[in-house]
């Protein structure tokens, strides 16, 4: 009787960074080969200024043949040898995600749609909003737990403590600020370092403050854009993950800019979230390395 597991393989994504030196790729390839690994794809980049080497490897091993602990042990030995920072993730495992939103819901709706059709490998575990549930009555939240946490100067610390609890209780690996119009405190930003993505309504650096599209209109800009970046204590200065732009002409009104801007925000945020879930983003100081498809 044949074994139904025969021929089945488990797929993983390995990302790493370390000081560049000869032999890194060879050592990784040899280690995976010795464990029965089959490399399906590999991307690498040597940043010459810092002499840091970055790599993303997609590989598979026979199901039941190699325990994850054995993989991690082999990678830990390589890490010690090359002074390497690394991460290993099962390819088919969806990313547990908390989505935070304010009144503008276009990015929330877009993320949920892409999740439902299987375009984004996320598992929404909570939605946090600073507006009540009725604000989003027209949206099918599909049973995702909804948390109404209004923020004022007096309640900010307590509400952020509750946000941190939700992230911890749900095991969230990613927090997405889907046009969440509240500034996270320095402590909250630091707590979520490397796993909190914000969508900014400008092609950074750009027009800051209130009514950014009106500011852009007043200056007669010919391009508007949006920027997805990691959240850091430095407001809107976090490492950039993805950006896009749209052409503007003299005939466009502020309302036209808002309409086009929302479309850019949706697609830029979706791409940034997808890159994160596919382990394509590796932090690099104030920048990121993004291995695009």
Spell out a b/e string for 141-166, using b for 16 or more CB atoms within 10 Å of the CB, else e: eeebeebebebeeeebeebbeebeeb
Compute the Cα dihedral for 292, 272, 37, 79 and give only its sign. Answer: positive
Closest CA to 293 of 278, 285, 181: 278
142 is annotated as an active-site residue:
no
Beta-strand pair 85-90/95-101: unpaired
Q: How far is 263 from 270, CA to CA, in rounded Å?
A: 11
Among 234, 236, 244, 263, the one annotated catalytic = 236
Closest CA to 20 of 77, 84, 80: 84
Q: Any bridge partners for residue 14, and if so which? A: 57, 88
Question: How many CA atoms lie less than 13 Å away from 185 in the CB half-sphere?
Answer: 15
Cα Rg of the chain (Å, integer): 21
Q: Are 92 and 38 in contact (CB under 8 A)?
A: no
Q: What Cα–Cα distance (Å) separates residue 18 from each residue in 14, 52, 175, 282?
A: 13, 6, 27, 12
User: What DSSP character marks residue 98?
Assistant: E
Q: How far is 148 from 132, CA to CA, in rounded Å?
A: 6
Active site residues: 236
């Amino acid at each position: 009787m044949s074994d139904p597991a025969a021929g089945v393989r488990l797929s993983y994504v390995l990302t790493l960074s370390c000081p560049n030196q000869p032999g890194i790729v060879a050592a990784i390839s040899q280690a995976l080969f010795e464990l029965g690994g089959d490399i399906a794809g590999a991307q690498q980049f040597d940043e010459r200024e810092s002499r840091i080497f970055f790599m993303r490897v997609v590989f598979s091993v026979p199901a039941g043949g190699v325990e994850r602990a054995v993989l991690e042990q082999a990678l830990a030995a390589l890490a010690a040898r090359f002074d390497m920072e690394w991460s290993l993730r099962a390819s088919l495992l969806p990313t547990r995600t908390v989505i935070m939103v304010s009144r503008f819901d276009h990015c929330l709706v877009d993320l949920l749609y892409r999740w439902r059709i299987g375009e984004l490998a996320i598992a929404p575990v909570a939605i946090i909003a600073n507006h009540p549930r009725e604000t989003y009555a027209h949206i099918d939240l599909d049973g995702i737990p909804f948390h109404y946490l209004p923020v004022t100067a007096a309640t900010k610390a307590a509400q952020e403590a509750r946000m941190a609890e939700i992230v911890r209780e749900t095991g969230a690996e990613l927090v997405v600020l889907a046009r969440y119009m509240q500034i996270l405190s320095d402590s909250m930003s630091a707590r979520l370092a490397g796993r909190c993505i914000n969508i900014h309504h400008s092609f950074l650096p750009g027009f800051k403050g209130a009514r950014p599209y009106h500011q852009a209109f007043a200056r007669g800009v010919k391009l508007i854009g949006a920027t997805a970046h990691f959240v850091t204590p430095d407001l809107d200065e976090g490492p950039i993950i993805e950006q896009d732009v749209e052409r503007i002409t003299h005939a466009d009104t502020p309302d036209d800019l808002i309409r086009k801007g929302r479309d850019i925000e949706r697609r830029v945020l979706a791409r940034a979230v997808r890159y994160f879930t596919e382990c394509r983003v590796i932090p690099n100081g104030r920048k990121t390395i993004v291995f695009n498809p």
